[in-house]
Amino acid sequence: VWGNQMTDTFEAKGKRKKLVAELKQKGIADEEVLRAIDNVPRHMFMDPAFLIHAYVDKAFPITSGQTISQPYTVAVQTSLLKVKRRDKILEIGTGSGYQAAVLAAMGAKVYTIERFRELFIKAQRTLTSLGYSADFFYGDGYEGKPQYGPFDGIVITAATPAVPESLLQQLKTGGRLVVPLGSSDNQVMTVVERTGPDSFEYSQHGNFVFVPLLKGTVNGK
Ligand code: SAH
């Protein structure tokens, strides 16, 4: 259906336009976010087994038992970050690299951390071949990347019961951290805005389900 997974086609472009229309209908209003989703070929981030579903608004399995986030979820998290061009954004949970590519397409300076070595390598390869630039790190996202901070935005793309304190400390004043907070089977999308050196404001933005944020790294073979 798609020919080579690493080429974009009229068919894929058409499906992306439909996906963008669907996201608008579901309430995504940020034009920059919609434009980025229109531009990034999600099929290039999919496991080949699920290729034909690339423009279905659902999460799908990738390697290492992880998932590529649902486009709607990526759109919500990205909208909540309020990304401006050249903002420094830290992502915890690179996964397929799709969210990182959407941020890069919006002109953000992206730093992304993944605890599975295999995914770290694969995502880096995918973004490079698409011409998007981002800084990739293999490691435990709980620690963040203090040497590259502070950040305008931090997005955690895995579920956690509590925001890691070290990440809050890597936010600029005025910066926003977006995280699905809750139990393993249901989380509330939460924005933590740093309003001063010691003040943080929380707001809630609906229910989601993510794979868990876990400590340590997995080297595979
Ligand atoms: N943003 C991804 C979604 C990936 S799913 C995408 O667009 O495809 C969440 C990812 O977070 C998984 O790949 C998982 O391995 C990773 N993860 C979980 N805990 C982590 C941690 N402590 N540090 C870094 N990555 C982590």
- Tens digit of each residue's pLDDT (9 = 90 or more) over 82-103: 999 999 999 999 999 999 999 9
Q: Is the model's pTM score more than 0.85?
A: yes
- Tens digit of each residue's pLDDT (9 = 90 or more) over 48-94: 999 999 999 999 999 999 999 999 999 999 999 999 999 999 999 99
pLDDT at 105 over 80: yes
Mean pLDDT of 171-184: 98
Type and span of the H or E element at 22: helix 10-25
How far apart are the CA of 10 and the centre of ligand 1, in A?
31
Q: And the tokens for 93?
A: 């949970």
Cβ burial 3-27 (10 Å sphere, 16+ → b, else e): eeeeebeeebeebbeebbeebeeee
pLDDT at 2 over 80: no
pLDDT at 4 over 90: no
Task: Tell me if residue 79 is catalytic.
Answer: no
Mean pLDDT of 148-159: 98
Q: Which residues line ligand 1 (CB under 6 A)?
A: 66-69, 92-93, 95-96, 98-99, 113-116, 119, 140-142, 157-158, 211, 213-215
Q: And the tokens for 83?
A: 């990304």
